[in-house]
């Protein structure tokens, strides 16, 4: 399952559009509220711009990540679109939305402690702020992420996370 995701990520990075300041991002997240199961998230994402106007640009993204709940892990694959705005030099604001696939959607720790995201297909939206401390293309920032199945399954518990991000713009 992981091979197709890595191949699509490599193809996206190697495409001609990637020559226009594509970004590679790593993020680590924790839930915004207490969960009945200990959860953390990790994700690597490629953001490839396809439209630019002044201080705005749109990009397509592909991601590979992991949701960890106690001793359980689930691979996540995602794709989306983002709008970036640069209000000041070295500061970027981003809003994005997309679709995620979870390899596993039920996390059981002990009897009575289960986190069930309802199904494999999930939707997400994010709001992010990132800052470039030097002129070398390195950014660090904060991202709020909301993930849920949008009510397409019987259960829809959602997962909201605070994320620390590190990204490189090429």
pLDDT at position 107 is 87
For 65, half-sphere exposure in the C-beta direction (CA atoms, 13 angstrom radius) is 25
Closest by CA to 27, choosing from 51, 53, 3, 47, is 47
Q: What is the pLDDT of residues 6-50, one digit of tens each?
A: 555 555 555 544 445 789 999 999 999 988 888 999 999 999 999
For domain 2-165, is the CATH number 2.40.160.20? yes
Residue ranges of domains in the chain: 2-165
Residue ranges, the chain, pLDDT below 50: 16-19
For 167, half-sphere exposure in the C-beta direction (CA atoms, 13 angstrom radius) is 29
pLDDT at position 25 is 97
Q: Please give the model's pTM, rounded to 2 decimal places.
A: 0.85
């Amino acid at each position: 399952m992981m091979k197709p995701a890595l191949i699509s990520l490599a193809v996206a990075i190697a495409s001609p559009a990637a020559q226009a300041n594509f970004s590679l991002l790593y993020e680590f997240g924790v839930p915004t509220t207490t969960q009945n199961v200990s959860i953390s998230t990790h994700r690597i994402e490629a953001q490839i711009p396809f439209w630019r106007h002044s201080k705005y640009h749109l990009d397509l993204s592909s991601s590979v990540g992991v949701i960890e709940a106690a001793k359980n892990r689930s691979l996540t694959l995602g794709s989306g679109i983002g709008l970036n705005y640069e209000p000041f030099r070295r500061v970027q604001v981003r809003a994005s939305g997309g679709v995620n696939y979870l390899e596993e959607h039920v996390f059981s720790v002990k009897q009575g402690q289960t986190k069930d995201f309802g199904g494999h297909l999930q939707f997400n939206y994010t709001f992010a702020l990132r800052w470039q401390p030097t002129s070398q293309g390195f950014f660090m920032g904060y991202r709020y992420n909301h993930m849920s199945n949008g009510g397409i399954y019987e259960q829809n518990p959602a997962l909201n996370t605070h994320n620390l991000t590190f990204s490189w713009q090429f």
